[in-house]
Amino acid sequence: MVKDEKIASLADSIVSRFRNAGVEVERSEIVKRLKLLIHEFKVPEGEAVRTITNWLMKEHEVSREQLVEKESALVKIGDINKAGEWVSLKARVVQLWDATSPNVSQVGLIGDETGIVKFVIWVKAGKGEVEEGKSYLFKNVVTDSFGGRLQVNVNRFSEIVEIDEEIQLPPKEIEVVGALVAIQQNSALIQRCSECRRVMTKGICPVHGKVKGYDDLRIKGVLDDGASIYEIILNQDNIKELTGIGLDEAVKIAHETLDRNAVLSELKKALLGRYLKVDGTKGERFLLVKHVEFIREADAKELLEELQEELQ
Ligand SMILES: [Zn+2]
């Protein structure tokens, strides 16, 4: 059952859309019709808003263009919070699904750095097809609510323009269990530029050249769970927790052996080939580790089987 507050907010958005186009409409009449459509006739919210908007456009002789032009502000997906709004989005096509209705041309997920949302391109919108992994400006699309979830609909007043922009997706929290099969270059005791924190090679920052650096400890490693590989980054705290070697201990090893690479050898001995259970945030390329622990090989195999079953 759609609550009265919901009806009120839908009514407000219709009123403000027409007000933006310079037309005053009667709110009480809109509320009455929304209740009738949504409660009595079980029409989805977005559809109800469209029906009433179309009726008001006829009543007040307002054209679609007048309304659309005023309303389609560029928004982020994370800001979408109600049905029946005209918006524009810059987003990347994350996934395409099989369209289950003959009225639907394409359906799937689009995302930007603030969130991911379902999208539907209706056949009668008459648009070209979008491709997975590509980014587009979705202009004048309508937010809708279906089964309690928000989505965006592409209709014949919408426009889809491919854009040459890297749209980032929101970071994903994941858990991975696997063997650390490799440690990449620029791991262990490294030096960072004191101005930009970039990793320096032989005292040189790629941006600032020869500057003062400071020591840091990190590992870029490759975790293999048998099905995929993950590039993980372990920070000072992660490494200390696993091996007992923190930054202070690492600096001491380097001083005693007069060899910064000695730290890398120590860490390789302690970590390579071991099974790890890792929680972290998956970015575009690297899995940034929040928590990590050793796990026995037998336990790792058992956990992996459970994870596989969950996926099926
Ligand atoms: Zn720098």
Tens-digit pLDDT profile for residues 107-133: 999 999 999 999 999 988 888 899 999
pLDDT in tens, 166-220: 898 888 888 999 999 999 989 999 999 999 999 999 899 999 999 999 999 999 9
Q: Are residues 202 and 291 in the same domain?
A: yes
User: What's the pLDDT at 13?
Assistant: 80
How, if at all, do strands 213-224 and 229-234 pair?
antiparallel
Cα of 234 from ligand 1 centre, angstroms: 21
Are 199 and 276 members of one domain?
A: yes
User: Are 136 and 214 contained in the same domain?
Assistant: no
Q: How far apart are CA 243 and CA 217, in angstroms?
A: 12
Residues 69-89: tens digit of each pLDDT: 655 789 999 999 888 888 999
CA distance 44 to 150: 11
Residues 299, 177: one domain?
Answer: yes
Provide the number of structural domains found in the chain: 3
| Structural domain of 152 | 72-162
Cα 202 to ligand 1 centre (Å):
13
Quick one: average pLDDT of 98-109?
Answer: 91
Q: What is the pLDDT confidence band of residue 255, given thresholds at 50, 70 and 90?
A: very high
Residues 176 and 307 in one domain: yes
- Give mean pLDDT, residues 26-50: 92
Q: Give dist(CA 124, CA 103) in Å, integer.
A: 7
CA of 283 to the centre of ligand 1 (A): 23
Question: How far does residue 197's CA lie from ligand 1's centre (Å)?
Answer: 6
| Residue 167 forms part of a structural domain | no
One domain for residues 194 and 247: yes
Q: Are residues 41 and 105 in the same domain?
A: no
Residue 206 in domain: yes
Q: Are residues 125 and 236 in the same domain?
A: no
Query: With bands split at pLDDT 50, 70 and 90, how would you rate the model's confidence at 2?
Result: low
Same domain, 13 and 85: no
62, 78: one domain: no
CA of 306 to the centre of ligand 1 (A): 45
Residues 203 and 284 in one domain: yes
The answer to whether residue 192 is domain-embedded is yes
CATH of the domain at 288: 2.40.50.140
Surrounding residues of ion ligand 1, Cβ less than 5 A: 193, 195-196, 198, 205, 207-208
Q: How far is the CA of 103 from the centre of ligand 1 (A)?
A: 55
What is the CA(200)–ligand 1 centre distance, in A?
8
Q: 102 and 211, same structural domain? A: no
Angular region, 187: left φ>0, alpha ψ -120 to 50, beta rest: beta
Query: In angstroms, what is the span from residue 192 Cα to ligand 1's centroid?
Result: 8
Neighbouring C-beta atoms of residue 155, cutoff 10 Å: 17
